[in-house]
């Protein structure tokens, strides 16, 4: 237990040093500097500060996909699932083949119990990366919630074939 606490503390200290280093002698001027500062704030559990810096990075570079996605993660942490979905959707508009944004948007939609939306997002993520085991598993979970046990079982078995531990879903959907 102490070891876990110590690792967490060390990680936060590292991010604090990164945050301080990113400020340097002058203020941030590039989108990447704001993104680095935001990431540090995110890991120090300062979501509001992270969102401010992600927004500044986006103002400098309106096509900065990673800033939209990470701002979405910060919003999701604050349980602003609708706001997170807006950011993930913007990242997808910029690059329709950016699988992490579909994954993250699927998670936020799942928090809102939009299982049809989750299935759509994970289906697209699988089209982009057919070996994405977690996408099969998560799509299977949503299919299970919608009563499609055959589809859930098929996705669970595919996830397991690709290396995901889908045993819990297999037990529920495939028996």
Q: What pLDDT, in 10s, does the model give residues 107-124?
A: 999 999 999 999 999 999
Identify the pLDDT of residue 17. 55
**Which tokens is 6 given?**
């110590």
pTM for the full model?
A: 0.81
Identify the pLDDT of residue 24. 46
Domains in the chain with CATH codes: 22-112 (1.25.40.10)
Identify the pLDDT of residue 26. 43
Share of the chain above pLDDT 70, in %: 84
Identify the pLDDT of residue 38. 96
**Whole-angstrom distance, CA of residue 83 vs CA of residue 73:** 10
Q: What is the CB neighbour count within 10 angstroms for residue 164? A: 19
Identify the pLDDT of residue 5. 54
Contacts of residue 114, defined as CB under 8 A and 6 or more positions apart, other chains included, come to none
pLDDT digits (tens, 9 = 90+) for 120-173: 999 999 999 999 999 999 999 999 999 999 999 999 999 999 999 999 999 999
Q: At what angle do helices 65-77 and 31-43 cross, to 10 degrees?
A: 20
Identify the pLDDT of residue 19. 52
Q: Answer whether residue 2 shows pLDDT above 70.
A: no
Average per-residue pLDDT for the chain: 90
Identify the pLDDT of residue 112. 97
CA end-to-end distance (rounded Å), the chain: 38
Identify the pLDDT of residue 76. 98
């Amino acid at each position: 237990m102490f070891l876990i606490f110590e690792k967490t503390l060390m990680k936060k200290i590292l991010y604090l040093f990164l945050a301080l280093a990113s400020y340097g002698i002058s203020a941030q001027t590039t989108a990447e500097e704001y993104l680095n500062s935001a990431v540090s704030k995110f890991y120090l559990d300062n979501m509001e500060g992270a969102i401010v810096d992600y927004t500044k990075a986006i103002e400098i570079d309106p096509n900065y996909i990673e800033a939209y996605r990470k701002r979405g993660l910060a919003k999701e942490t604050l349980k602003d699932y609708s706001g997170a979905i807006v950011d993930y959707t913007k990242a997808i508009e910029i690059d329709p083949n950016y699988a992490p944004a579909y994954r993250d948007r699927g998670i936020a939609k799942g928090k809102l119990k939009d299982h049809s939306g989750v299935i759509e997002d994970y289906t697209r993520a699988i089209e982009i990366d057919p070996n994405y085991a977690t996408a099969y598993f998560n799509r299977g979970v949503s299919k299970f919630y919608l009563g499609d046990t055959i589809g859930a079982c098929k996705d669970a078995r595919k996830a397991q074939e690709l290396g995901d531990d889908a045993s819990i879903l297999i037990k529920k959907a495939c028996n």
